[in-house]
Amino acid sequence: MEKFTQVSDISSVPAMVRKALELKANPHAHTVLGANKTVGLIFMNPSLRTRLSSQKAAMNLGMNAMVMNIDKEGWALELRDGAVMNGTTVEHIKDAAGAMGLYCDVIGIRCFPGLISREDDYREHVLSQFIKYCPVPVMSLESATRHPLQSFADMITIEEHKLHTTPRVVLTWAPHVKALPQAVSNSFAEWALASKYDVVITHPEGYELSEEFTHGATIDHNQERALDGADFVYVKNWSSYKDYGKILTQDDSWLLTNDKLKNTANAKIMHCLPVRRNVELSDEVLDSPNSLIMQQAENRIYAAQAVLKELLEGV
């Protein structure tokens, strides 16, 4: 693998999930592969899970990990080719990415969307500039439109808990006080569809995701009907794609409660975290025996480890 930014960068989701589960069973089996190798983890935005699970994954492989919160600790980056840098930016991304590549064997980068220009965000300008100028393999730690490491961990978690081959997987929109990216939801749909699951997406009108990610899923604006028979319910807020970056409603009738789950197939509940409790998802659901949120968080290690291993091997 030369880069990891979306599901199409891997040859097969089930095969990658199997590799991740092998690593989970024997995390230190490949320390020779990572010896004297370094991963750089570059954050333009905050992180808890991605940062720590990627560091842990690197340690399990015998690698060194260097972390930089470039938004706070680095020079202000210029992203435009040919820019006359006489304003607030101090360093061009081509120089920053080029230099960081000299210190590392793999680089991970987190770059959230601005949620102002859909065109800029959906052409993944920051990530693509970084890949263009970085001389070593790049892995996404969440970009403007996708969060592939999270989705990979989610697929590992579903594999561990599914009771039949083709589970009904429901992605439900949830209310939130802030405008959030579509990245986790886009990615989850993309990976669940690539896994050939029965994917249902439910949200209020106006919250349709880009068809690029949802083609093949059932879209239903009736949450109760969508939840009927669900094996897994993935809860996530996202801002509008159509009315880009906007909050169209904060309707708390979309908050998932145990009562709403009564017609599911004893559904397991998933959320990527961080979660605003009792705004996006109720305590009673998050803390119920069917909640998989900690299993998802743990599997972030083995998703990152499987990706790092493939990037080091170049396969």
List residues binding ligand CP (CB under 6 A).
Answer: 47-50, 142, 150, 272-274
Nearer to ligand CP, 66 or 273 (CB): 273
Residue nearest to ligand CP (CB): 50
- In the complex, the smallest distance separating the C-beta of residue 141 from ligand CP, rounded to whole angstroms, is 8
Answer whether 281's CB lies under 8 Å from 256's CB.
yes
The dihedrals phi and psi of 291, each to the nearest 5 degrees, come to: -75, 135
Q: How far apart are CA 263 and CA 11, in angstroms?
A: 36
- In the complex, the smallest distance separating the C-beta of residue 174 from ligand CP, rounded to whole angstroms, is 15
Neighbours of 119 (CB within 10 A): 8
- In the complex, the smallest distance separating the C-beta of residue 54 from ligand CP, rounded to whole angstroms, is 9
Enumerate residues 6+ apart whose C-beta is below 8 A from 140.
Answer: 4, 5, 6, 108, 109, 110, 127, 146, 147, 148, 149
- In the complex, the smallest distance separating the C-beta of residue 183 from ligand CP, rounded to whole angstroms, is 9
Nearer to ligand CP, 78 or 142 (CB): 142
Neighbours of 249 (CB within 10 A): 15
- In the complex, the smallest distance separating the C-beta of residue 53 from ligand CP, rounded to whole angstroms, is 8
- In the complex, the smallest distance separating the C-beta of residue 272 from ligand CP, rounded to whole angstroms, is 4
Locate the DSSP E strands across 18-118: 38-43, 64-69, 77-78, 91-92, 106-110
Nearer to ligand CP, 30 or 271 (CB): 271
Nearer to ligand CP, 55 or 223 (CB): 55
- DSSP codes joined into one string, 135-168: SS-EEESS-SS--HHHHHHHHHHHHHH-SSSS-E
Q: How far apart are CA 188 and CA 197, in angstroms?
A: 11
- In the complex, the smallest distance separating the C-beta of residue 306 from ligand CP, rounded to whole angstroms, is 17
Nearer to ligand CP, 223 or 296 (CB): 296
Nearer to ligand CP, 145 or 150 (CB): 150
- The HSE-up count of residue 96 (CA atoms within 13 Å, CB side) is 23
Counted residue by residue, the chain has a size of 315
- In the complex, the smallest distance separating the C-beta of residue 184 from ligand CP, rounded to whole angstroms, is 7
Nearer to ligand CP, 47 or 214 (CB): 47
Q: How far apart are CA 162 and CA 173, in angstroms?
A: 22
- DSSP codes joined into one string, 191-217: HHHHTT-EEEEE--TT-PPPHHHHTTS
Nearer to ligand CP, 160 or 228 (CB): 160
